[in-house]
Structure 1
Amino acid sequence: MSLVAVFFVGAWVLLIAPNARAHDALPTAAQPHGWSYPLSCCSGYDCREVAYHAVAERPEGYVIKGTGEVITYTDSRIKNSPDGLFHWCSAAGAKDGHTICLFVPPHGY
């Protein structure tokens, strides 16, 4: 009997638990259906598109202008942007949060 109870409790948890998936970037001309931020970067609210002028390219790396944080060009948090725009994932989605991932457009975009 306890095996049946465990089965039903497990099934119930799976039905009511939210899906563990990243949220999507908004559609753009380059990606008309949008694209999904990877789970390693996003907990459903950490990532968003940022204006081109919010990130500066400097010799030492990418500078997040709102925080002053420098992300070196070899940092594993740098990701290629599928839509050619900057997207920034910060802790808890905060404007002053630590960078989790930074999606950057290719230089020829």
Structure 2
Amino acid sequence: MAQQRHRFLLSSLAVGTAIAAVAIGILAASTGKTWPHEATPTAAMPQGWSYPFSCCSGMDCREVPDKAIVEGARGYEIRATRELIPMSDTRIKQSPDGHFHWCSVAGADDGRTICLFVPPRSF
């Protein structure tokens, strides 16, 4: 009796896991959303790109509008936090798609910067 119950629970768990996996796959395909660590596809990068693990733990990074970051002689200012990131700071990364991407602790709009992806500087 106990063995039959154990088999039933295992088979129920397997069926539930399979249904969840299919549902997640359908949801991901239908929404066009990216997975954690991934930047949204753009014209420059139609397949999107992945944020480095050192910058993003699945919720820390996102694309931000150009007006959210101010480039000045002393570095990049994050407007939301007034944080100044010097140009020589190792948190500054080259943006593969030409857009600003900001990685902050827990993805908070008032969080400390982990990484800042910047577009190529124009001369």
**TM-score calculated relative to the size of structure 1:** 0.78
Question: Identity percentage over the alignment?
Answer: 64
Q: Tell me the CA shift for residue 26 of structure 1.
A: 0.3
Partner of 2:68: 54
In 2, distance between residues paired with 1:101 and 1:81?
11
Count of residues paired in the alignment: 89
5+ long unaligned stretches in structure 2: 1-34
Structure 2 residue matching 1:103: 3-state secondary structure: strand
- The alignment yields a C-alpha RMSD, in angstroms, of 1.6
The aligned amino acid for 2:102 is W
Structure with greater helix percent: 2
5+ long unaligned stretches in structure 1: 1-20
Larger radius of gyration: 2
Compare relative contact order (CA 8 Å, sep 6+) and give the higher one, 1 or 2: 1
In 1, distance between residues paired with 2:121 and 2:89?
17
Partner of 1:34: 48
Of 89, 100, 104, 1:90 maps to 104
Contact 1:25 1:37 in 2 (8 A): yes
**TM-score calculated relative to the size of structure 2:** 0.70
In 2, distance between residues paired with 1:22 and 1:39?
10
In 1, distance between residues paired with 2:72 and 2:66?
14
In 2, distance between residues paired with 1:107 and 1:57?
10
